[in-house]
Structure 1
Amino acid sequence: MRGQISSILRNYSFLLTKHSSYGFRQAEVLNRSIHPSFQSFRMMSSNERSNDPMNLTTDKSNYEATAGTMKDVKLKIIEKMGLQFGYNPLQHSREHLMQYTPKSIDELPPRSMQDSFTSAIIPLSTDVKLREKYVGFLGSLRIGRLMEDMDLFAVWVVHQHVLVPNLQPGIPLPYTFVTILVDKIDFTEIDGKPDADIRLSGHVSWVGKTSVEVVVWLEQRRTGKWRKITRALFLMAARDPCNIKSAVVNPLVPGNDEEKMILDSGESRKKRRQAIQQFDLLKTEPNAYETKLIHDLFIKTIDTKSKAFNKRILPPGCVWMEDADLNNIIFSHPEDRNNHNKIFGGFLMRHALELSWALGYSFSKRRPKLEHISDINFIKPVDVSSLISMNAHVLYTELNYMEIVVIAEVYDPVSGSQSTTNSFYFTYSVADTLPQVIPKTYHEAIWYIDGRRKFRHIMELAVTP
């Protein structure tokens, strides 16, 4: 089995290394070009795209699912954490487990990527009742449901990595695992079907002192072979049993050259995230090119002859950003909770994705195709019974692509206040050229620049042409 897992890790080592090659692009991209023109990418033939590792067909029929079904995974997590079944607004205290939480990394044995490798099946081919949850109104697979499963599965992968020596049988794992963010999610050309089994596989790809990066990929059995649908990177935080402070986890030691390559690229991804934070528009002003871009958009929307700066004119083929949005309110229930009585991150991901798709549909008048998901941030936990306000906005368009952000906020109906809990960025495409989104205010202009950066980064283009 370890030999099979080594083969699987080799197949994904190049993929992870390719992802890490983005490195400091978000920072470096401000000054130099990285890839060929966007038009070249757009005109890429199907034959060229088939050479991308995300589109390669894999046949790993030697293993089906080491952890059983996703239902089994959920039950195993509850059992390992020592949690109660069923909903109770007053959870049992886990404070007694604090004594078992390791205080330093020296107490924990190192682990390899093979130790954390695991897989699980969503049995859509045989479970007709389950299939109803995964089918969309057009008969296609609901990607939002899969996002929920991937989030839960990432937690299960971390469970395989963490090993506390001398933990007596019957003592629950003295940790709490929380999703911090979800990195770039790409999709292949494979259209998922709601009546064929789906396999989730994953392993730990990088480990910090208290954080764990997990790679998760989805495959569906088609014509007797497992074909990749998507791949995502989750960054998880390890916390103590009461979720009060950070907790150390087992260090990751590569077992071979392939694992070393993945681990090194994980370190590069960490540095990339740090570099991106330095260029956050909340901390730094737009660069010279972006400042000129904002000014050009302003000039485009006024009558330069009259010099009436307060009168804005919408150019032909354009849409005001304030008119390219869609909102809804979600009331969360106990069935939407995670194991710690907080709203499950996957639940929020699903609703954000489906709202973004609805906005893309209404904006373009075409059914949009999801190309990428990027920069999903979990800022604050959401309590059960919260009113969740979700606001979707088209931030940027280029040719037939659009960048959409969804902001999730907890809404207090008594005071009317809102507190941001999550942000999600989605890239969609349609068959026709889209109208240009035009900001009216400086606040919208900064959001426009942010959307443009996200889009060009995800498409591997230079922010400054």
Structure 2
Amino acid sequence: MNAFQDLMRIQTFRSCRNAARACQRLNMSTQAAGDSSRASPAITSGTGDISSTAFWGRTSITAQLWAERRKALVDIPDPTCASTPGAIKHRLKDDKTAAESRVVLSLPLKSDPLLRQQYENFRGGVRFGRILEDMDAVSGNVVFHHTLPRHLSLVTAAVDRLDLQEQIPLDEDLEFRGRLTWCGRSSMECQVALVSVGASSCLSSYLCKATFVFVALDPQTGRSTKVPTLIADDPDDERLFSEGEQNKKRRKHQQEHALEHRPPSEAEIHLIHEFFRHRAQLFQSVQPIQRGCDATTSSAFIEESCLPSPPQTGGASALAGGVDRGDPFVSLKSTQMQSVVVCHPQERNTRGKIFGGYLMRQAYELAFSTASMFFGPLATVHLYAADEIVFHHPVEIGSVLTFTAKVVYTPIDSGDSGSRGGSSRVQPPSLADHACQMKVACLVTHFGQNKQYLSNTFHFTFTSSLNGQGQGAAGTGNGCQGVHVRPESYEEAMEWVDGRRRFLRSKALSEGMPTEELT
């Protein structure tokens, strides 16, 4: 027994030592546009304090970013704090350039085997939930350095959009590139891209790109506070700032036309009525019973019996009633899956709350599991995009989180599918293949404070393709034939309509089409 305990202690020590070495080898740097003197000195690589329990369970990337942030808080006093000596007060700047807060951080998956182990998933690919954590940490450092020397509370309001252009390779050295793209009075928009080493500096060339929205709060009052104005000093900055303005208007437009505030459109109401009419016809007709799963329909959500959709003849009936080949359907609630986790101190961020990247990872991995169950064992599931991940309230340590995921929409008409442009790398299946729109809600229960509330909502778009086993059993084709979801109540109908809007928005954005009419 003593020998076994000694062996376990040695292995634990080696794991901690290897993680620390990987963290120290990370190459952190900034890129200044034209004037290197404007680069923030706090972004450069440093040792920092990586022994804090706040960094346990985080990747080496996130741990290093947080260590740099903590070091900057010590090295750069807040000039607005009364206890700061006047002799070392830093001059407050009313405006800054994007270069002053830009972050470029290497992710050497190919050249660093120890680091690669942190990101490998069960299929031998990249564990995307870890990438989400790192992107959240990178965006936090960008806005942190833009607001220095003030020590503000920076809250992630939302992940406005996340697009996965190509499958992330595990055998290549990559880079995180984060930059501020837009600033308002107290809100900021930051884009973080994951690119291959040596790729173009343009944010349009990426493997994965996410847009984060932050709000700056005064730590004393808890109210929103002014942040430095963003100076657009080159055409690229001006273009991104203009896109940020359009994103703000789009978010406002979508919020005003959300189903919580306005009823569905006439066309959407017609689709809902088609569901009702089709369901009434089903109960008035005799249909064969399909038992279990076969080689082409292998969803784990099909129970012992389910009614297949009768053939439709096109038009709105086909859109609501299923495709002509008669795929089966299930209700939205039958696809629901849950996970429950307890928030321990090891999952906190630099502000003492539960790390938003951890919440995104938990939600994504549940959504991925639900999509895998939905499409069945013959399919390989890929993330296509994430749309509007909203952080309603912070999560305290000690909270019990209940994540609930469900499929809220599946495209059942050729007009609802789309494709992406070609690339030399392996791409996720396009929306022309079988896909689904997933919604994940995070309910927080805090027994110590006797309260319960909705903390986050997440929206993911997944695609599927037949794996080797599925191609052998189900024949040829890239898409994975499966079931479709249909609402069975008014609440489910609203979720279906909202999911359809988000799915069509993903399609429109991938094709460079306007999205205002999709609300």
Query: TM bucket by the smaller chain?
Result: 0.7 to 0.9
Cα deviation, 1:149-177, whole Å, max 9, x if unaligned, reads: 1101101111222244xxxxxxxx42111
Which residue does the alignment assign to 2:188?
A: 212
The answer on whether the counterparts of 1:411 and 1:418 sit within 8 Å (CA) in structure 2 is yes
2:375 equivalent to 1:364: yes
Q: Distance in 1 between matches of 2:260 and 2:248?
A: 20
- Equivalence map 1:187-198=2 (5 Å): 187-193=164-170, 195-198=171-174
Mapped partners of 1:291, 1:236: distance in 2: 35
Residue aligned with 1:137, SS: coil
The whole-number CA distance in structure 2 between the counterparts of 1:336 and 1:145 is 13
Q: Following TM superposition, by how much is the alpha carbon of 1:303 offset from its aligned partner in structure 2, in angstroms?
A: 3.7
The answer to whether the aligner puts 1:291 opposite 2:266 as a matched pair is no
Secondary structure of 1:374 counterpart: strand
Residue in 2 that maps onto 1:401:
435
After superposition, the Cα gap between the structure-2 partners of 1:368 and 1:82, relative to the gap in structure 1 and judged at 3 Å, is same
Of the structure 1 ranges 413-422 and 320-329, higher mean CA displacement relative to structure 2 is found in 413-422
Write the distance in 1 (CA, Å) between the matches of 2:331 and 2:482: 13
- Aligned-partner SS, 2:380: coil
Equivalents in 2 of 1:459, 1:263: separation in Å?
24
Q: Does 1:438 align with 2:486?
A: yes
* 1:25-424 matched pairs, under 5 angstroms: 67=45, 70=61, 71-82=63-74, 97=81, 108-125=93-110, 127-164=112-149, 173-193=150-170, 195-221=171-197, 228-242=206-220, 244-303=222-281, 314-316=307-309, 317-365=328-376, 366-399=379-412, 400-412=434-446, 418-424=452-458
What one-letter code is carried by the residue in structure 1 that aligns with 2:67? L
**Paired residue type of 2:145:** Q
Could you list the runs of 5+ residues in structure 1 that have no partner in the other structure?
8-64, 84-93, 101-105, 165-172, 308-312
Instruction: Give the conservation status (yes or no) of the 8 Å contact 1:210–1:246.
Output: yes
Deviation, 1:413, is 6.3
Give 1:322 deviation, angstroms: 1.2
Distance 1:446 1:415, change over 3 A: farther
**Which amino acid in structure 2 is aligned with residue 175 of structure 1?**
L
2:497 to 422, 430, 449: 449
| Whole-angstrom distance in 2 between the partners of 1:395 and 1:412 | 28
CA contact (8 A) 1:110 1:252 kept: yes
- Compared with structure 1, are the counterparts of its residues 81 and 274 closer, same or farther at alpha carbon in structure 2 (3 Å cutoff)? same
Q: 1:6 to 1:438 in 2, by over 3 A?
A: same
The match for 1:170 is none
Specify whether residues 377 and 99 from structure 1 end up closer, same or farther in structure 2 by C-alpha distance, changes over 3 A only: farther
CA contact (8 A) 2:398 2:446 kept: no
Tell me which residue corresponds to 1:42.
none
TM (norm. structure 1) is: 0.74
**Which residue number corresponds to residue 459 of structure 2?**
425
Give how far 1:212 is off. 0.8
Change over 3 Å in CA distance of 1:289–1:67 after alignment to 2: farther
**Identical columns (%):** 28
The 3 A distance-change label for structure 1 pair 304 and 396 is: closer
The alignment partner of 1:284 has SS state of: coil
Instruction: Check 1:98–1:278 CA distance in 2 against 1; reply closer, same or farther (3 A cut).
Output: farther
TM-fit CA distance, 1:81: 3.2
| C-alpha spacing 1:222/1:391, structure 2 compared with 1 (3 Å) | farther
Over 3 Å counting, the alpha-carbon distance change for 1:4 and 1:75 in structure 2 is: closer
Could you tell me which runs of 5 or more consecutive residues in structure 2 were left unpaired when the two chains were aligned. 1-28, 35-42, 47-59, 85-90, 286-305, 310-327, 413-433, 466-479
Q: Which amino acid aligns with 1:391?
A: T
Cα distance change, pair 196–258 in 1 and its aligned pair in 2 (3 A): closer
What CA RMSD, in Å, does the superposition of the two structures yield over aligned residues? Answer: 3.2
Residue type of the alignment partner of 1:324: T
Deviation readout 1:364-420 (Å, 9 max, x if unpaired): 112211110110000000001211000001000015110001101113569997411
CA distance in 2 between counterparts of 1:352 and 1:4 reads 33
* CA shift in 2, pair 1:201/1:278, >3 Å: same
Following the alignment from structure 1 to structure 2, what is the Cα–Cα distance between the partners of residues 439 and 306? 19
Equivalent residue letter for 1:300: H
In structure 2, do the counterparts of structure 1 residues 257 and 286 end up closer, same or farther at CA, with 3 Å as the change threshold? same
1:260-312 Cα deviation digits (max 9, x unpaired): 121112111111111111101001000101111111011111248869xxxxx
- Equivalenced residue count is 376
- The one-character-per-residue Cα deviations of 1:344-368 (angstroms, maximum 9, x if unpaired) are 0000001111110100000011221
Kindly tell me: are residues 98 and 367 of structure 1, through their superposed partners in 2, closer, same or farther at Cα, counting changes over 3 Å? farther
What CA distance in whole angstroms lies between the structure 1 residues aligned with 2:518 and 2:350? 45
Supply the AA of the counterpart residue of 1:322: K
Contact map agreement 1:329 1:387 (CA 8 A) in 2:
yes
Instruction: Indicate the structure whose relative CO is greater, using CA pairs within 8 Å and at least 6 residues apart.
Output: 1
